[in-house]
Amino acid sequence: MIDFELSPQQKQVRDMVHWFAEHEVRPISLLADQEERVPDDWLHKVNRMGITLSMSNFGGGGDRKNKDDAARKEPRERQSNRLGVIAAEELAWGDPAIALSLPGPGLGGPPVMSTGTPEQKERFLGIFTREEPRWGAYALTEPGAGSDVSGIRTSAKKVDGGYVLNGHKVYITNGGRASWVVAFATVDPSLGRAGHRAFVVEKGTPGFTCTRVAHKMGLRASETAELVFEDCFVPIDNLLGGEAHYENRAGSSGFRVAMSTFDSTRPIVAAMAVGIARAAYEYTLDFVKREYPRGSRLQSDVLAKLGEMDSKIHAARLLTWEAAWKADLGQPNAKEAAMCKAHAGRISLEVCADCLEIMGPIGLDGHLVEKLYRDVKVFDIFEGTNQIQHLIVARRLYEPHGLRL
């Protein structure tokens, strides 16, 4: 049975990150959105504080080298995924774009931790210290392969000493400033998933360039880059997991790396969507208390609508906690990860739209809710669209009974 009471450590993380979100993130939120960047001096300060959007940073895992970090005092029971979603909700409550901009390995961290050799973990994760802010990134999506991951076309040709990559990746968070990128490519498109390989491509590698940083409707302070590989030589030591990892698997190991990463990151994305919805709900509730005639029928109707929003947010949070809980237990959680991501993305969009409707034209005039409405839309899309999440859930539910999708 799941215990819904937060442990003392979980409460401590929640309170610490909420304080940070309220006092350090919110004050620069609207300005960062307008300027489409997070100030460099702020990023340096935060890096020294050791705050990052990383499960292992809060749960005692290994993406930071500093042994003196209090979060590295790992309890016997693994709870990095639960602590990660708790922290992600609070950071997104402060500002989701800034949360995604925090220094650290980002989405590139989970595949390195789960698949990398000991030497690769030390080499690629050991750079994240408090001396200088650094970023990692995760490059999977292509112009012709988004939700259908099996359709990637970036090629990896085996040569002496490594591989040569050619291809194009899009919508890569922190891709332009990342010290390294976990990039997925195929050794043979005709092999489908069996041809997939994961590489760590380091910044400055000849043939590896960032061609564009996108200007977006939402999450404007977060860097979203397009990356190009042109005859880009990647040494064999940068093949994630090494050759043996792919030879000893049943053909689709590179694809499995991508999928297992999603099982870890989709609950984080869901938690961020919950944080956005909660921020919009709380901001609108304060507005209604302040601006609507107290005790009027109008205020009563609006408060009832807000109560419905709170129920949706709470349900999304519990789905997210379940997915993280199963991951901490080492149990398969692909279905739960897809469920929470789909539900949280949808209800958060609904909540932000309803909040904007309640505030009316006032909400469009430089208020936080307008920004959150723009930010939240992508949570229904990235890390796999809602349609893909429902397909994953359906497969897990019905294929064991012989019903093929």
Side chain identity at residue 158, one-letter code: K
Closest CA to 53 of 73, 41, 68, 38: 38
- The SS3 call for residue 326 is helix
383 labelled catalytic: yes
Give the whole-angstrom CA distance, residue 167 versus residue 71: 39
Q: How large is the angle between the packed helices 8-20 and 80-94, nearest 10 degrees?
A: 20
Give the whole-angstrom CA distance, residue 21 versus residue 59: 19
Give the whole-angstrom CA distance, residue 2 versus residue 369: 33
- Burial of 9-25, coded b for 16+ CB within 10 Å and e otherwise, reads bbeebbebbbebbeebb
Q: Backbone dihedral region of 99: left (phi > 0), alpha (psi from -120 to 50 degrees) or beta?
A: alpha
* Given the residues 89, 142, 226, 383, the one annotated as active site: 383
In sequence order, what are the residues at sequence separation of 6 or more whose Cβ sits closer than 8 angstroms to the Cβ of residue 150?
Answer: 192, 193, 255
Catalytically annotated residues: 383
